[in-house]
Amino acid sequence: MKTALVQYSPEWENIEKNIEKIERLLSGISSPLDLIVFPEMTLTGFTMNQKDFGEDIDGASFRYFMDLSNRLKTDVICGIIEKEGSNYYNSSVHFSKGLIAAVYRKIHLFSHSKENNYYAKGKDPVVTKVGGIKTGMSVCYDLRFPELYRLLRKEGSEILIDIANWPVDRIEHWRVLLRTRAIENQSYVIGVNRTGNDPFYKYNGYSSVYDPMGNLITESKDEEKVLIADLDSDEVRKTRDTFKFGEDICLI
């Protein structure tokens, strides 16, 4: 499965400019893709101005990514501030060839930045299918909580995806945790982070892909770049058949 990780520096709260940036980044890709993954809150940055940027299905972000996935005949996973009634969610949305395939609402809200004061907490883990492969969805701070990923593995996920705005100060945690989630779940792990600055934090990327043994497949620091990785679900099955760690789990 040919997968693109779009690591870029979004203009703060500027949806139109960020769409232009993404179009320029993707214009350099000539071969077909099966999946494109973007950072958390893809078109706004990690904003607490949820009332200004929250969207329902008719919003600008939803419309853009529906169109993008339809134009490129591919699957897209991105971050959108989702509005439902009076609640706002930091969501990861899976689009498949122009349609919404799944929506995951971030369960673990980052209290250190008061995210929990602005967004409602998601309740349910979400496993979607990309090209027939079960894929577990997560957002940024979720990465620190292995229980979520164990549930995603239990539901058959062979790929785990975390989209993030993870700052420089704690970037080594990001790198270690991505690799750990791959090793402990014998899954591919895709982490897509942003670069650049917002009014509060500095970011240096380190978007990356790890294989089911925890080996690094690709990684990029600092630069705006589209990383390409080929994922083979047979590698997941081979790893799990060889090392049957999943069968030895004892829940306490």
Instruction: Please report, for the chain, the start and end positions of each structural domain, with discontinuous segments joined by +.
Output: 2-248
Among 78, 106, 134, 158, the one annotated catalytic = 106
Structural contact between residues 206 and 220, judged by C-beta atoms closer than 8 angstroms: yes
Share of the chain above pLDDT 70, in %: 100
**89-125: per-residue pLDDT in tens?**
999 999 999 999 999 999 999 999 999 999 999 999 9
* 78 noted as active-site residue: no
Res 157: pLDDT: 98
DSSP character for 170?
Answer: G
Total H helices, total E strands in the chain: 6, 13
Please compute the mean of the pLDDT values over residues 54-79 and round it to a whole number. Answer: 97
Structural contact between residues 214 and 178, judged by C-beta atoms closer than 8 angstroms: no
What is the architecture of the domain spanning 2-248?
4-Layer Sandwich (3.60)
User: What residues form DSSP beta bridges with 162?
Assistant: 138, 191
DSSP character for 202?
Answer: E
Please compute the mean of the pLDDT values over residues 212-225 and round it to a whole number. Answer: 98
Res 252: pLDDT: 63
Among 21, 115, 140, 158, the one annotated catalytic = 140
CA nearest neighbour of 12 among 155, 161, 202? 202
pLDDT tier at 213, thresholds 50, 70, 90 = very high
- What is the spatial distance between Cα 30 and Cα 17, in angstroms, rounded to a whole number? 23
- What is the spatial distance between Cα 236 and Cα 233, in angstroms, rounded to a whole number? 5
Specify the pTM: 0.97
Structure tokens at 5: 């990780």
CA nearest neighbour of 90 among 69, 67, 111? 111
DSSP string, 221-236: ESS-EEEEEE--HHHH
* CA-derived radius of gyration, the chain: 17
